[in-house]
Amino acid sequence: MRKHLLPFSFKYGALLFIGLVILFFSLYNQYFFTYSNLTDILRSISIVTFVAIGVTISLLVDGFDLSVSATVSLSTVITASLMVWYEMPLVVVLIVPIAVGALIGLINSLLIVKIRIPDLLATLSVMYLVNGIHKNYTAGYSVYSHMPMPDGSTAPGEMSKAFLWIGQGKLLGIPFPVVLMVVAVAAVHVFFKYTRWGRQMIMTGGNEEAARLSGVKVKKIRMYAYVASGIFASIGGILFASRIGSGQIDAGAPMLMESVAAVFVGYSVFAAGRPNIIGTFFGAILMGVLVNGLTMMNVKYYQTDIVKGLVLIVALAVTFIHLNRRKA
């Protein structure tokens, strides 16, 4: 019995823990387990989840993309400015920031794959660069409808209704960002489980030299991973602009750590011990549930960080104790 109980608790421990946390908050506060609050939680994590998907992909090829937060910020102000300053149609408003995200991914992979700067250092530098660019672009101001321009005039455009619906609207009673998030999680999960390129990414992350000696074009694979990471971060930025209704400076700043935390909690889901999309999704849910529930308990926002840190430590400790013991 014990023999089966222990692996079981390692494998499903994380999910069980999420269940217990939800149960606890539900009993504590009657408003917690309501449809509107639960959809609220999901909507609150949707943007971070997109960023976290990108981080997961970079970690899966044994890299690390620190530049995602800067990409979110840049993407947010570009999206808003395209509407407010240039009155561009919706298609352009959506495509340009994604292209910029892809470009940042390309720059990252150029530095990492071609010039061979270690991942952390390369993406840290790019993080500073992109952060600087996004502040320069707006001269340090946030971008909002009919904002005053430096020359004294008023910006011609405004955030379009259709665009705002992406972040604020509902589809069949479900917030649209939640729909997007679930679709993205499912699609990326399928990509890694059932496609050739996904498999090549996993193998490259598992052992780059063995993958190369198996005929996998590891440089290209790593490049694709960083481009994907940039694209997911930029989608996060678009959602952010749409949710807030403006282009806030430094919008993405807190998102790097939030998304990395979700990814690492995800390591413990199903005792995978490595980055995986489903784990990342549950990690983001756990973090969202904690913030929401603790806020309802009137815990101060700066105290929730302590709880988040402890949860992360426990999740990782349990996972790695388990994995190291299995290795021994």
Partner 1 sequence: MLGNQPVSELNMSKISKSFAGVPALKGVDFNVRGGEIHALLGANGAGKSTLMKILSGAYETDEGNIEAGGVSHAFRSPSDSKAAGIHCVYQEVDTSLVAHLTVSENIFLDNLASPKGKAWLSWGKLHDEASAVLERLGLHISPRTLVRDLTLSEKQLVLIARLSAQKAKFVILDEPTAPLSLEETEKLFGIMQGLKSDGIGVIFISHRLPEVLRISDRITVMRDGERVLTVRKEEIDSQGIVKAMLGRSFEEEFPKLQADIGKPVLTVARLEAGKRVRGVDLEVRQGEIVAVVGLVGAGKTELSRALFGADPIDRGTVAVNGKSAKLASPAEAVRAGIALVPEERRKEGIFVRESVLHNLSVPVLRAISRLGILSGKRERELANRQISDLGIKTSSATQQTAFLSGGNQQKVAIGKWLETDADVFVFDEPTKGVDVGAKRDIFRIIGTLAQQGKGILYLTCEFDEALGLADRILVMCDGSIVKSFNRGEATHEDLLKFASAVREELA
- Pattern 264-283, binding to partner 1, x per CB under 8 A? ----------x---------
Out of 39, 199, 299, 307, the residue judged to bind partner 1 by CB under 8 A: 199
Residue 149 DSSP one-character state: P
Contacts with partner 1 by CB under 8 A: the residue count is 21
> Residue 46: which H helix or E strand, with range?
helix 35-60
Q: Residue 36 to residues 111, 264, 306: CA-CA distances in angstroms? A: 45, 28, 27
- Near partner 1 in 73-92, by CB under 8 A: none
Out of 23, 87, 148, 195, the residue judged to bind partner 1 by CB under 8 A: 195
Q: Is 202 near partner 1 (CB under 8 A)?
A: yes
Out of 207, 295, 303, 324, the residue judged to bind partner 1 by CB under 8 A: 207
Q: Is 196 near partner 1 (CB under 8 A)?
A: yes
Q: For residues 219 and 201, give the distance between their C-alpha atoms in angstroms, rounded to a whole number.
A: 10
Q: For partner 1, which is the closer residue by CB, 80 or 221?
A: 221
List the one residue out of 111, 100, 30 whose CA is nearest residue 63: 111
Q: Is 300 near partner 1 (CB under 8 A)?
A: no
Out of 214, 295, 303, 324, the residue judged to bind partner 1 by CB under 8 A: 214
Instruction: Give me the count of residues in the chain.
Output: 328
Q: Is 197 near partner 1 (CB under 8 A)?
A: yes
At position 136, the amino acid (one-letter code) is N
**Which residues lie below 8 Å from residue 78, measured CB to CB, with a gap of 6+?**
96, 97, 100, 134, 137, 237, 247
Residues in contact with partner 1 by the rule CB under 8 A: 194-197, 199-200, 202-203, 206-207, 209-217, 274, 327
